[in-house]
Amino acid sequence: MPRIFAHRGLSAIAPENTLAALGGCSDYRVSWFETDVDIIADGTPIIIHDSSLHRTTNRTGSIYDLTVEQLDDIDAGSWFSPEFAGEPLPTLAQLIQVMNESKLNGNIEIKSNEQGAERTFQLIDAVIAELDKLDDERKVLISSFNLLLLAELKRRAPHYRTAALFTADALGHDWLSLMQLCGAETIHIEDRNLTQPMVALAQKAGFEVNVYTVNSRARANQLFNWGADGIITDYAHEMIHLENR
């Protein structure tokens, strides 16, 4: 059965990576979301795509300077629409609670932290510690563009399934070596220029293939006709029926 992942939650109709966008998936019978996680100054993992605050909040500055006490004053919803004013910037711990309550499954993308190896190890350990609090029935797929990070996570927590992210530009002739070296079971490939032979090649090598970010229904159908295992889309609420095609 093909799988539909809500990219940063239902990001076409709610502010990306907020609990409104992520928790709201259950209203549309979307059971899987994709989200981005990085770590702030006091070691708390939070849900945000960028390392700076300005695009998706009412604040500026680096997320790496924040402490958890400051999160309450940050509005991560108004930039999207006044309807979402006051929507908080969530911690991973809050998201884990929502996943358990709303029975949601998550593709947790760990950002390639910009503060060096020590902080990256902290981020990996903090993510593992939170994910370990999920109910047994919940499913998780951990992804990253940083394949060294992904290999390290696999070493520390081999029980989690992982997905290696490739932009179209990074998907070179060495993709199979990179996949095998980082130990990922799944490949997440950017949609741009993706061809049917590439999907077939990756699957023949034993990997599941999910494609991002697919916002056209026609393209989603084409990818599923090729046998792609999943798509990551901003319009999961409009594409969810494709899981039963």
237 classed as catalytic: no
232 binds ligand G3P (CB under 6 A): yes
Residue nearer to Mg ion on the CB measure, 36 or 130: 36
> Which of 49, 159, 237, 241 is labelled catalytic?
49
Q: How far is the CB of 139 from Mg ion (least distance, A)?
A: 17
Least separation in angstroms between CB 244 and Mg ion = 25
> Which residue is closest to Mg ion by CB?
109
Q: What residues from 178 to 207 belong to the interface with Mg ion (CB under 5 A)?
A: none
Which of ligand G3P, Mg ion, none lies near 209, with the C-beta cut-off 5 to 8 A by kind? none
Whether 241 is a known active-site residue: answer no
The nearer residue to ligand G3P, 212 or 224, going by C-beta atoms, is 212
SS (H, E, C) the chain: CCEEEEECCCCCCCCCCCHHHHHHHHHHCCCEEEEEEEECCCCCEEECCCCECCCCCCCCCEHHHCCHHHHHHCCCCCCCCHHHCCCCCCEHHHHHHHHHHHCCEEEEEECCCCCCHHHHHHHHHHHHHHHCCCCCCCCEEEEECCHHHHHHHHHHCCCCEEEEEECCCCCCCCHHHHHHHHCCCEEEEECCCCCHHHHHHHHHCCCEEEEECCCCHHHHHHHHHHCCCEEEECCHHHHHHHHHC
Q: Nearest approach, Cβ of 43 to ligand G3P (angstroms)?
A: 22
C-beta of 34: minimal distance to Mg ion in Å? Answer: 6
Which amino acids are annotated catalytic? 7, 49
Judged by the rule CB under 5 A, the positions of this chain that interact with Mg ion are 36, 109
